[in-house]
């Protein structure tokens, strides 16, 4: 397993750094299939966390020593840190990430128990602490118990409160989780590799620039405040959209998906990606007064923006046995309602794709006279792949039947020409029309057989 080999040195390094804190072990699933089947291991490598002899979850974080060490140190400690002094409290809420603190005069009551349930449930993503220190409880909670979410001091701004009190009278783990998830990031969080999965996946505007809170917090907040000024105006008007700022260096790969350059100027470049995957790019340069961003957002909410498509140029000639599809002609070729289309999503560097190429071309040649079946391919590294297609590896092949273009079927069969033909005979709307072999080839073949 190539992925296993790449992980091995990182895993060994993490094991060394975590010695005496968390033991790291490995299981060869080819020799211990019963163990792996018991815990639902279906792909390699799979990393699972166990606590007190019971499975506690699957690790889905970065496959690096730093990522593994950071995650497991959080797992090894308590879900919520006990704070016994004002100094400990000040240090805890001064962290670069947000903090959730429970204040309890009685650390054995129902409220404390519910808080700890929430902390255990969300420990992978958020920082929790609790205290019964009288001075702190009196300062933050009039009723003797409560929860306060503290945003990172470095992100303090004039557009929102730096701390928020849990608003409900009754403290339950479910309500605590909802409170945290709705408030933890505020108007415009700093998106990083660690928190991106919690921020992405919804309609999201990101301003990419040289965000660096270690070396230049003032400069980082200068542009963030201008994003927040405009964002708050639209949020207050009832327009729903999430916002974030991110380092153009860290997220250079995302910028390339929008056709943007990670080395562009000082001012932020701005893009929106919706939950459905639609992309919009702000073409006007970001202005210090925020007016350019305001115009971009107004056009977005008014539905006046053109979606951005990452696409290779449409081929001038496309008469080969395998049709070349790019993002800009995808609808024309693949979504043609009267055609059955078999489409391969490939990567130019993929060895399996290169092995498939001559067979796929032969398939296209055999079906070149069929008016209702198209054999097609698309470079998924150079073109946006539209929904509902999902490409997680290469090659990925889909069959898009005539009249049912929103329900393409992923092809899971063999990769010989005969396998594809058998599949199309089963799935095609009409019986495939196969190109007959050249008569001279047939006669030569017959002579050879006679000999």
The set of catalytic residues is: 1, 4, 350, 353
Considering the domain architecture, whether residues 297 and 211 belong to the same structural domain is answered as: yes
Considering the domain architecture, whether residues 416 and 379 belong to the same structural domain is answered as: yes
Considering the domain architecture, whether residues 48 and 94 belong to the same structural domain is answered as: no
Sign of CA dihedral 295, 248, 156, 170: positive
Residue at which a domain ends, from 129, 156, 183: 183
Q: What is the average pLDDT across 69-84?
A: 88
Is the pLDDT reported for residue 445 higher than 80?
Answer: no
Is the pLDDT reported for residue 420 higher than 90?
Answer: yes
> pTM value?
0.75
Q: Which CATH number do you get for residue 389?
A: 3.40.30.10
Which among 213, 218, 230 has a CA at the least distance from the CA of 288? 230
Is the pLDDT reported for residue 299 higher than 90?
Answer: yes
Q: Where are the beta strands (DSSP E) in 31-97?
A: 48-51, 54-58, 81-83
Considering the domain architecture, whether residues 178 and 97 belong to the same structural domain is answered as: yes
- Give ∠ CA 329-335-340 in degrees, rounded to 5: 120
Under the banding of pLDDT at 50, 70 and 90, the label for residue 449 is: low
Q: What is the average pLDDT across 366-372?
A: 96
Residue 451 lies in a domain: no
Is the pLDDT reported for residue 443 higher than 70?
Answer: no
Say what the pLDDT of residue 186 is: 96
Rounded-to-integer distance, Cα 116 and Cα 93, Å: 18
Which among 242, 233, 224 has a CA at the least distance from the CA of 294? 233
Q: What is the average pLDDT across 105-111?
A: 85
Q: Which domain holds residue 53?
A: 2-75
Question: What's the total number of domains in the chain?
Answer: 4
Under the banding of pLDDT at 50, 70 and 90, the label for residue 140 is: confident
Rounded-to-integer distance, Cα 380 and Cα 311, Å: 10
Which segment, 50-54, 74-78, 397-401, is predicted with the most confidence on average? 397-401
DSSP secondary structure string for all residues of 94-121:
TSSS-EEEEEES-TTSHHHHHHHHHHHH
Residue 346 lies in a domain: yes
Is the pLDDT reported for residue 284 higher than 90?
Answer: yes
Is the pLDDT reported for residue 450 higher than 70?
Answer: no
Q: Which CA distances in Å does 377 have to 320, 327, 328, 383?
A: 11, 11, 14, 11
Rounded-to-integer distance, Cα 227 and Cα 64, Å: 33
Residue 393 phi/psi, 5-degree rounding, is -160, 175
Residue 442 lies in a domain: no
Q: Are 219 and 260 in contact (CB under 8 A)?
A: no
What are 248-252's contacts with CB under 8 Å, separation 24+? 248/208, 248/209, 248/210, 248/211, 249/210, 250/192, 250/193, 251/191, 251/206, 251/208
Portion of the chain with pLDDT greater than 70, in percent: 96
Under the banding of pLDDT at 50, 70 and 90, the label for residue 105 is: confident
Residue 443 lies in a domain: no
DSSP secondary structure string for all residues of 234-246:
HHHTT---EEEEE
Is the pLDDT reported for residue 439 higher than 50?
Answer: no
Considering the domain architecture, whether residues 175 and 272 belong to the same structural domain is answered as: no
Contact partners, residue 125, CB within 8 Å, separation at least 6: 195, 198
Residue 64 lies in a domain: yes
What interhelical angle do 417-427 and 351-366 show, nearest 10?
60
Residue 320 phi/psi, 5-degree rounding, is -70, 170
Q: Are 279 and 206 in contact (CB under 8 A)?
A: no
Considering the domain architecture, whether residues 280 and 327 belong to the same structural domain is answered as: no
More confident residue, 143 or 173: 173
Is the pLDDT reported for residue 437 higher than 80?
Answer: no
Portion of the chain with pLDDT greater than 90, in percent: 78
Residue 69 lies in a domain: yes
Say what the pLDDT of residue 451 is: 54
């Amino acid at each position: 397993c190539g992925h296993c080999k790449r992980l091995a040195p990182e895993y060994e390094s993490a094991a060394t750094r975590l010695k005496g804190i968390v033991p790291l072990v490995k299981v060869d699933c080819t020799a211990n299939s019963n163990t792996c089947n018991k815990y639902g291991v279906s792909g390699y490598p799979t990393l699972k966390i166990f606590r007190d002899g019971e499975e506690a979850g699957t690790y889905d974080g970065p496959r690096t020593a730093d990522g593994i060490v950071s995650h497991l140190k959080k797992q090894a400690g308590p879900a919520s840190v006990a704070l016994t002094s004002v100094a400990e409290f000040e240090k805890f809420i001064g962290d670069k990430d947000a903090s959730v603190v429970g204040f309890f005069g009685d650390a054995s009551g129902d409220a404390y128990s519910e808080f700890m349930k929430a902390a255990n449930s969300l420990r992978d993503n958020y920082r929790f602490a609790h205290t019964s220190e009288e001075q702190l409880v009196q300062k933050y909670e009039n009723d003797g118990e409560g929860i306060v979410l503290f945003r990172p001091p470095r992100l303090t701004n004039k557009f929102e409160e730096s701390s928020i009190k849990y608003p409900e009278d009754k403290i339950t783990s479910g309500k605590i989780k909802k409170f945290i998830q709705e408030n933890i990031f505020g108007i415009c969080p700093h998106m990083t590799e660690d928190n991106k999965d919690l921020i992405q996946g919804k309609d999201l505007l990101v301003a990419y620039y040289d965000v660096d809170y270690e070396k230049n917090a003032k400069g980082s907040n200068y542009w963030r405040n201008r994003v927040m000024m405009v964002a708050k105006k639209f949020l207050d008007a009832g327009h729903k959209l999430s916002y974030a700022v991110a380092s153009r260096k860290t997220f250079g790969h995302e910028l390339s998906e929008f056709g943007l350059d990670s080395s562009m100027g000082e001012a932020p470049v701005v893009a929106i990606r919706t939950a459905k995957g639609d992309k919009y790019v702000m073409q006007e340069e970001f202005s210090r007064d925020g007016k350019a961003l305001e115009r971009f957002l107004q056009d977005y909410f008014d539905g006046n923006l053109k979606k951005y498509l990452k696409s290779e140029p449409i081929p001038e000639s496309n008469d080969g046995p395998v049709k070349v599809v790019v993002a800009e002609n995808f609808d024309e070729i693949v979504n043609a309602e009267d055609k059955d289309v078999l489409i391969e999503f490939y990567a130019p560097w993929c060895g399996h794709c290169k092995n498939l190429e001559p067979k796929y071309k032969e398939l296209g040649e055999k079906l070149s006279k069929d008016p209702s079946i198209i054999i097609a391919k698309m470079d998924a590294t150079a073109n946006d792949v539209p929904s509902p297609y999902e490409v997680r590896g290469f090659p990925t092949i889909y069959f898009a039947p005539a009249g049912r273009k929103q329900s393409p079927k992923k092809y899971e069969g063999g990769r010989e020409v005969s396998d594809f033909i058998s599949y199309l005979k089963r799935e095609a709307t009409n019986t495939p029309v196969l190109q007959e072999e050249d008569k001279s080839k047939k006669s030569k073949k017959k002579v050879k057989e006679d000999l």
